[in-house]
A and B are shown apart, each in its own frame.
Chain A
């Protein structure tokens, strides 16, 4: 009994609910026999992976659903051993090179070449090529992307790539030009509501339409999140009505608390207190940019309109720095200090 989000994941292209035209295109791609490299991008929770899996099924048949995890050990040039997990079926494999951080190039080079140089042994296979799905392609290092580009052409008889990314911004142009770009947009709130009510019906839960709408809104058009929230609400409440409170995730609750702390007092001592909480979030694997973003959006409603633009500006400024730097807490703290200063000088009617 898995969670709803995985239990009711569509398995075939027909079962996909929204973005019908995209589903149609994918189906015809799969059936055409001339399957290109794909770069599928879109926000998280939009259904990229689900669409890929259904497309693969369309390509190879149900055999593609028999997957297992292989564990490989790679050795870097510096003799470091990397353990790397691969999800594989007979027809495809799925890797997440960013698991090994900066050594992703090693994995890409070794593994892709290995796959590309072996021909499909199974004569009954529908396609001659194997598909390699690369997750988090936008986190690939430059080196790894460079290693990809030539491989994509040279071994195309035996290999097709499907890159999954949240945005194409970090993908180098040569790769973008070698792939077919597929954008999977986030589902609309209406789409999400439909899915929620469908799932609720299948589970036999009483439907609360207002609640579903609120979930769809709160989820930020992230279907995975919406489903998980949906289940959380139902798990925590015997009876669900339109008014039922949606429990925020733990980290968001803490960020809300930080925002309150910041608003309550503007002193160095308070920054120290906030620092401890930020450390807590960071050490519990909440990405710094996520922290900064949610913190900013928690702070914005609490301040005067005149300040909002400025706060957003600084938030963006420090988000950029987080990306450039390595010790994230420094930048988060600098943002907090900046915010306090701006707010305090505004409250005192001084120019800042």
Chain B
């Protein structure tokens, strides 16, 4: 098949665009669902790629052989990429595929006829076509324009190129396959055997790039791809009919999909971070190759896998009993899918409560497999299951994707997940299947492809960390040598010291392994670079007085504020950046007192000086002139506490005019006390590094310390510490003390005991307790665990539960159907509501007059755990709402205030209390005051005002009446003509209105009060024992003995009487006296104020101020 080969080589250039286009299509048109793994993962080729891309491979003859595997009838084993995943998560729109079909078909035909003919023109046309449906068409066509791009070995700048190359290769394979299909079938096996090599060899494709000859074949292939996709979009059932008549087409389709898959696999391999993602490979291997198109049509669920070379493991995998996944609900039309209705339609067996014992599998037996847990498992708690899988080397992801090997399905699986399962035809098993898997699989995943790849990756990682460790050692050595040589002259024996210190290093690991180069920093690399460039530009910016913001905007800041959670290397980054930029670091942290005064005086000496290191150096060392620059690192700025009064403000002032760069470091930038830095420091957030970013570094350290820790344990440690690098290193250092290796359980235990207690937010609390997991028969959580959950936020958890308990689909009702189910749900809801009601009684005992705080756990049970125990279940279809009780309560308080106000005004005329006013007067008042204004407009204004005056109602009361209506009188239903309303307001304001009394807060009472209070307090302060004891006596004569606290209180009546007398007098004689009094009051207040200021601070100042206004 020489022509084929030629075309294979030639078509590369043109092909690539097409496929890359396709890769992107899913992303761009995110809404569209791609059943097939259309989207390719874009791999940013890391340094790892270098390893893979060895030039030697270029010429490998094997490459050309295409991949076989036509048969994968179902999308099952496909590799999902993130883009793909997202694309599929959107609503599926099959419409997309229809337009494509006509297009693709003609092309295919064209392509099939002449193999090596007029290739070039076709490709172009094809691309254009593609561009119609893929938004990325432009980019792809660009690519086509210059086929040379393939040359790419420098992975850094072209992240696109490698991908493209791979695509080329794939399409090449496809061609072969198609040829093969149409022509000779016997060769299949040979091709297949080559598959594995192919995966590694992607880079070789480079060579092909050179060949520019474009072949029509390629074109064909790409168009085939399109077809394949279309086919996938078609509902499953249709496939058989569709394929059988046109076998050729079908094959093409499959091939295309296959190739696509292949591509992504390869990509994955390159993706070094994606250590565990090897599952798809195994699947691929399993995928049957020699099947006829007709077979393809077999139902998805029973995905048959017929690996060409069936391994023993594959047998095992196939033998695992699968369960049938429930049909996902159709989502035609309405997007909101009614979960309850859906559930009502299916009945599930009662959960068997017999807890299956966890099987003990061979070590790492699940290596390379990816699992997804969904729904509530009968006998296995989800977290337990996930842990089990992780412990045995498997990977657990949250959502199913093409790459998923198995879905462990329980009852109540989310509709979204079911849909994905159906879409990809994933294998679904239950926990028994999982156990069987674990029991049967040999250690390290046996001989399956997945395991092999897993192994390969592992060894690669091992190699890498070894290399890094070696480098580290080398570096240390050179440093030691350097130090030794400098010291050599003066202290010959220091060599010995160095040697000794190398063996027994007393430094903490965190210091020992602190990064010494940017390349060693885990995560936040960009941030470190920003610090560096900021420091570099600092002297320049100082000259231009910080006028130019620069492209990142830090040019106008003299200070920089790093913030982020603990243990992610903020301080390290600051020091490292300073060191790399040749700055001398002066550090100040929470161990130094940093009050306003000390900041001002202490920093004065620093801000305008240069470092001595720029002028002097130790004996024998060279003076480094550039070292005279200083950077001030203010660590733990948010630790400036009560002792550092005014320190933050002073520091902010310093930041405004400093002549050396200042780096501020804090954990929480949003604290109110960090506000002064808002405008003076450039904010640079540090984020938690991902597990992948840390893992390599940790592995290096482990290697150096000769501590054997498998990757999954490291993952667990990192996850357990929430990516706190420092803590992980500390844990390892502790572990090293008494052991040389750490296994999964040990690691789990350790990170558990080191766990930082995370306080859950109310939302998390309620979704955790209502989610059903805690009450599933398989759950191992105890009553105490649930009570514990309540105490995460004891004020909100019960309110949140009350708000959301009606939104679940209770597990306990799952065994019922139809009306019985509804009744059961009502029964459960009723029980829950009654329990919440019980809880409120307990709450009253706690917060009421009895203050029985010891009842808190009781409250937790009644108001939180017990209701949840009835209604716990899937919360699908209703989102967790915040409690509405608080809002309604404060609204009630506000309206109650209105009512009181109204009643206070009406009081001279009416006899009712405020409830009677609300329930009986208000409807009529509302009609007379509001409705008539609305109905008849301006004519009634006079009547309305007359009525208001007769009841001493004010304009505010009128507004309150408007707001107090409910139901038919709701304020939302009342639209008063703005003209009438403004006329009403105007008229009302023009007139004078009777007031039944002076408001206490306006004049008299407060004045009186404020005058008396100071005297009282002073008297008591001074004569605590003398005078007040006499008063106490008097009190004791009264009917009830009073406690000492009432000193003030006993004095109060006196004051009031006096005040009352005065008031009466004042009233009699007119306003003058009142005025005088107020004047005196004010003077007095001022005096008091100055007295108090020192003692009580701002609060009392404010109080006094309000009192005297």
Contacts and interface: CB of A to CB of B under 8 A. Distances in A.
Given A280-B966, A324-B841, A224 B1000 contact: no
A72 B1005 contact: yes
Contacts of A285: 892, 895-896, 899, 914-915, 918, 964
Contacts of B967: 250-251, 253-254, 257, 280
A57 interface: no
A191 to B, nearest CB: 18
A340 B806 CA distance: 14
A281 B970 CA distance: 11
A181 B71 CA distance: 97
B1001 interface: yes
Nearest to B895: A285
A134 to B, nearest CB: 12
Interface stretch (B43-51, B471-479, B991-999): B991-999
B603 interface: no
Interface stretch (B156-164, B580-588, B655-663, B842-850): B842-850
Contact of B825 (A73, A81, A267, A324): A267
A224 B966 contact: no
Contacts of A83: 1000-1001, 1005
B858 to A, nearest CB: 14
B988 interface: no
A336 B923 CA distance: 26
Contacts of B807: 268, 272
Contact of A231 (B839, B896, B919, B924): B924
Interface in A54-101: 67-75, 77, 81, 83, 85, 87, 96, 99
Contacts of B834: 334, 337-338
A282 interface: yes
Contacts of B882: none
A327 interface: yes
B837 A68 contact: no
Contacts of B1001: 83
Interface stretch (B368-376, B499-507, B1048-1056): B1048-1056
Interface in A142-178: 146-147, 150-151, 154
Contact of B926 (A77, A250, A268): A250
Contacts of A213: none
B822 A267 contact: yes
Given A68-B996, A344-B826, A6 B919 contact: no
B1084 interface: no
B847 A326 contact: yes
B848 A326 contact: yes
B802 interface: yes
Nearest to A232: B924
A342 B955 CA distance: 48
Contact of A69 (B840, B904, B923, B1057): B904
B836 A232 contact: no
Interface stretch (B226-234, B538-546, B944-952): B944-952
A283 B891 contact: yes
Given A114-B1057, A232-B924, A251-B967, A44 B916 contact: yes
B146 to A, nearest CB: 61
B965 interface: yes
B829 A268 contact: yes
A331 interface: yes
A264 interface: no
A96 B836 CA distance: 34
A64 B819 CA distance: 68
B844 A324 contact: yes
A15 interface: no
A55 B956 CA distance: 35
B82 interface: no
Interface stretch (B99-107, B213-221, B905-913): B905-913
Residue among A74, A325, A345 facing the most chain B CB atoms (10 A cut-off): A325
A272 B970 CA distance: 20
A327 B806 contact: no
Interface string A96-122: 100100000000001001100000000
B900 interface: yes
A68 B1004 CA distance: 15
A interface, over-half SS: helix
A297 interface: no
Contacts of B802: 330
B888 A1 contact: no
B974 to A, nearest CB: 11
A281 B968 CA distance: 12
A337 B829 contact: yes
A200 to B, nearest CB: 16
A341 interface: yes
B1056 A114 contact: yes
Residue among A99, A257, A268, A340 facing the most chain B CB atoms (10 A cut-off): A268
A81 B1056 CA distance: 13
A333 B826 contact: no
B1000 A250 contact: no
B968 A235 contact: no
Interface string A300-338: 000000000000000000100100111101110110111
A217 interface: no
Interface in B964-982: 964-970
Given A85-B997, A267-B822, A136 B913 contact: yes
B995 to A, nearest CB: 9
B1046 interface: yes
A128 interface: no
Which 4 pairs between the two chains have the least Cβ-Cβ distance? A254-B967, A71-B1000, A49-B911, A69-B997
Interface of B: 802, 806-807, 819-820, 822-823, 825-827, 829-830, 832-834, 836-837, 839-841, 843-844, 847-848, 884-885, 888-889, 891-892, 895-896, 899-900, 904, 907-916, 918-928, 943, 946-947, 950-951, 964-970, 996-1001, 1004-1006, 1009, 1039-1040, 1045-1046, 1048-1049, 1052-1053, 1056-1057, 1060
Given A75-B1049, A268-B826, 9 more contacts: A3-B924, A5-B910, A44-B916, A83-B1000, A99-B900, A267-B822, A284-B892, A286-B966, A337-B834
Interface of A: 1-3, 5-6, 9, 44-45, 49-50, 53, 67-75, 77, 81, 83, 85, 87, 96, 99, 110, 113-114, 135-136, 146-147, 150-151, 154, 222, 224-225, 228, 231-232, 235-236, 247, 249-251, 253-254, 257, 266-269, 271-272, 275, 279-287, 290, 318, 321, 324-327, 329-331, 333-334, 336-338, 340-341, 344-345, 348, 350
5 contacts: A2-B951, A68-B908, A232-B923, A325-B841, A336-B833
